């Protein structure tokens, strides 16, 4: 399958089977994130893997968006390690770096037949506190990961796209 085909096929899964993600599959998915580019290759990302029922239940108190996924990845960045733009105060690459890493992981999972849901619907501070994350880390997203349930299907909005000329502008 070529990349465009894979990207079109991938969708946010909102119904997962109970089947656990095998360790060797999870390792391959995490490796895809590990090789992702980051600003100046500083690699500030941290990925926390949650598979424990008690911790998954704790996450369920913070968001309605786990959809019974057997594995959840929490993505953070270390504020001491993310690249800071020397040309403008307050501009840094932590969120972008994590987003690149998460996208690599999301697409690798799709290629391997797993589903994902990228989730930002949670209180970041509450999540960081609930999972006792280091004070110098900021959460960006969590990602549900697992095998789609038999009845899983894309949202009707999945294929709704603006025309390319509405989102791409050539500066002349």
Q: pTM for the full model?
A: 0.95
Instruction: Output phi, psi for 128, to 5 deg.
Output: -60, -40
Confidence band for 167, pLDDT divided at 50, 70 and 90: very high
Enter the tokens of residue 111. Answer: 């290629």
Domains identified in the chain and CATH numbers: 3-150 (3.40.109.10)
Q: At what angle do helices 23-34 and 94-111 cross, to 10 degrees?
A: 140
Tell me the residue ranges of DSSP E strands in the chain. 45-50, 71-78, 115-119, 137-146
pLDDT of residue 94: 97
Please state the separation of Cα 128 from the chain's center in Å: 16
Phi, psi at residue 50, to the nearest 5°? -115, 120
* Of 31, 32, 144, 101, the residue nearest 93 (C-alpha): 101
């Amino acid at each position: 399958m070529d990349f465009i085909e894979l990207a079109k096929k991938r969708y946010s899964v909102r119904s997962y089977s109970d089947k656990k993600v095998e360790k060797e599959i999870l390792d391959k998915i995490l490796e895809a994130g590990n090789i992702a580019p980051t600003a100046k290759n500083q690699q500030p990302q941290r990925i926390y893997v949650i598979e424990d029922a008690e911790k998954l239940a704790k996450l369920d108190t913070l968001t309605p968006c786990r959809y019974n996924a057997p594995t959840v990845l929490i993505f953070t960045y270390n504020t001491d390690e993310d690249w800071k733009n020397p040309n403008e105060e307050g501009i840094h690459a932590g969120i972008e770096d994590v987003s690149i890493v998460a996208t690599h992981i999301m697409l690798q999972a799709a290629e391997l037949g797993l589903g994902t849901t990228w989730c930002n619907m949670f209180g970041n501070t509450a999540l960081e506190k609930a999972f006792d994350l280091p004070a110098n880390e900021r959460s960006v997203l969590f990602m549900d990961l697992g095998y789609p349930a038999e009845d899983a299907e894309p949202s009707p909005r999945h294929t709704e796209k603006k025309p390319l000329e509405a989102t791409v502008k050539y500066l002349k």
